[in-house]
């Protein structure tokens, strides 16, 4: 009988551990178990600032995908960013622009997409033609000073 109680206790203990892990996954990290189908699009940037893998890709502030890879494009000497866009977002026109933005003043970097006017849409493997690099604070300050001086 005592053995039985112990076994139940141990079983409950291990179960509690698993439930805790599940709750951490779902409620704390917001893990989405159903893996969304995505398609890949690319963009070249002069400067990606602090953008990293798994940074968000948003449109009007709504999450539509994430950055899946960042490489250096040796031919263009620019950063090549690969994004996975959710499948249901299939209305990004080929003249859409992608810019690297900052959440808040010092927050994380993310990519904001603004849709253009064309009727044709970006497919798997296509590139954003219109891109806007990250704002680099030093550059801004540099420009500002330069303007002051030249005036």
Partner 1 sequence: MLDLVARLGHKGLKKLEAFGSAGVILMQALVARPQPFTMLPLVVKQIHFVGVLSLIIIVVSGLFIGMVLGLQGYTILVDYGSEQAVGQMVALSLVRELAPVVTALLFAGRAGSALTAEIGLMKATEQLSSLEMIGVDPLRRIIAPRFWAGFICLPVLATIFSLVGIMGGALVGIDWLGIYEGSFWSNMQNSVDFREDILNGLIKAVVFGFVVTWIAVFQGYDCVPTSEGISDATTKTVVYSSLSVLALDFVLTALMFGDL
- In the complex, the residues that contact partner 1 under the rule CB under 8 A are 3, 6-7, 9-10, 13-14, 16-17, 20-21, 23-25, 27-31, 54, 56, 104
| Vertex 69 angle, CA 76 and 103, to 5° | 100
Give min distance, CB of 8 to partner 1, in A.
10
Q: Which is nearer to partner 1, 26 or 76 (CB)?
A: 26
Q: Which residue has the tokens 């494009």?
A: 73
CA distances from 103 to 9, 47, 107 (A): 47, 17, 5
Minimum gap (Å) between residue 148 Cβ and partner 1? 30
Residue number, 31 or 136, with CB nearest to partner 1 = 31
The per-residue DSSP string of 111-131 comes to: EEEE--S-SSB--TT-EESEE
- Name the residue nearer to partner 1 (CB basis): 21 or 76: 21
Could you give the angle at the alpha carbon of 58 between the alpha carbons of 53 and 59, nearest 5°? 155
Beta carbon nearer to partner 1, 14 or 136: 14
CB of 18 vs partner 1, minimal distance in Å: 8
């Amino acid at each position: 009988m005592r053995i039985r109680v112990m076994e139940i206790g141990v079983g409950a203990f291990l179960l509690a551990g698993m439930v805790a892990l599940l709750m951490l996954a779902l409620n704390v990290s917001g893990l989405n178990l159903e893996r969304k189908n995505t398609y890949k699009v690319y963009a070249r940037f002069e400067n990606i600032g602090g953008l990293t893998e798994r940074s968000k890709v948003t449109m009007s502030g709504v999450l539509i995908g994430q950055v899946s890879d960042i490489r250096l494009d040796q031919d263009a000497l620019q950063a090549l960013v690969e994004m996975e866009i959710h499948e249901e977002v299939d209305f990004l026109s080929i003249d859409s622009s992608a810019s690297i933005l900052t959440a808040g003043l010092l927050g994380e970097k993310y990519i904001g997409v603004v849709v253009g006017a064309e009727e044709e849409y970006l497919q798997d493997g296509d590139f954003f033609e219109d891109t806007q690099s990250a704002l680099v604070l030093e550059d801004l300050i540099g420009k500002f000073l330069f303007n002051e001086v030249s005036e």
